[in-house]
Amino acid sequence: MQIDPPIVDAHAHIMTRRMPFREDAWTRPEYEYTAEDFVADLDRHGIAFGIVTAASLYGDYNDYTLASLARYRRLRATVMLEPETDAASIRELADQGVVGVRMQWKLDAAPPDLASFRYAKFLNRLADCGMHVELNASADQQALVLPVLMAHGINVVVDHFGLLRAPDGMEGEGFKSILRAVATGRTWVKISAGFRLDPALRQAAAARLLSEAGGDRLLWGSDAPFVGKEGGVSYADTVSLFHELVPDAATRRRISDAALRLCFF
């Protein structure tokens, strides 16, 4: 029986020309992709809900993301925060529709010690407010931080298939650490930005994640507006790729339901 799920786009970025870039931003888009643009794309493709993902280009400048949550109740968001953010501020963000905090570092940098007092209290505050950590990290970084996050007990969402940029790909310690984290029941992996991967690799990665994680531990995201790939990818392309990677309609529904449970209801 064909199932038509209430698809959640769990990964898109909004940007306006007024948003200031970090000094070390890896690119500086000169166009806009506003909350209105995102919602219009959702409507054109019959997608019920969306999650605005914090973009590293803007650091902890979350003002426009929070404004979009105030305008559109069908949206949720992740933000970037300094670990010194106090509990009251985190609670206020959660009340506004923020569901997680994105952690990302330069791909060749050593990640911070998440077991330190500075980060342990931050993770406690996030977990106490029902937020997850959204991890956009290299394989080496994943191998270091995922065991710490799992030991802490906080929910984690891993972006973009786990990046898969390491030479050893799915056989490396980074991807294996993702599968171990998924097995704990506290980690989800996004099938997102597949257009950035070699077709054979994304197909193999999706198949392995479906086999070992199942639809209940996967999320789907478009990665709109396709920064760095503008003009070469359309929103419709990403929806089609989702159907290609997950051909079973019932499994796609389970992926949508996972996003709804984690971030909306």
Range of the structural domain that residue 137 is part of: 8-263
CATH number of the domain bearing residue 100: 3.20.20.140
* pLDDT at residue number 264: 96
In a domain, 217, yes or no: yes
* pLDDT at residue number 107: 84
How many structural domains compose the chain? 1
Per-residue confidence in pLDDT tens, the chain, 265 aa: 444 546 899 999 999 999 889 888 788 988 999 999 999 999 999 999 999 999 989 989 999 999 999 999 999 999 999 999 999 999 999 999 999 999 999 888 999 999 999 999 999 999 999 999 999 999 999 999 999 999 999 999 999 998 887 778 888 899 999 999 999 999 999 999 999 999 999 999 999 999 999 999 999 999 999 998 888 999 999 999 999 999 999 999 999 999 999 999 8
Instruction: Report the alpha-carbon distance of residue 259 to residue 253 in Å, rounded.
Output: 10
* pLDDT at residue number 1: 40
Instruction: Report the alpha-carbon distance of residue 117 to residue 147 in Å, rounded.
Output: 17
- Structure-token match 């949550």, residue found: 69
In a domain, 129, yes or no: yes
Instruction: Report the alpha-carbon distance of residue 241 to residue 233 in Å, rounded.
Output: 11
Instruction: Report the alpha-carbon distance of residue 158 to residue 177 in Å, rounded.
Output: 11
In a domain, 67, yes or no: yes
* pLDDT at residue number 2: 45
In a domain, 2, yes or no: no
In a domain, 3, yes or no: no
In a domain, 1, yes or no: no
Residue 199 preceded by cis peptide, ω within 30: no
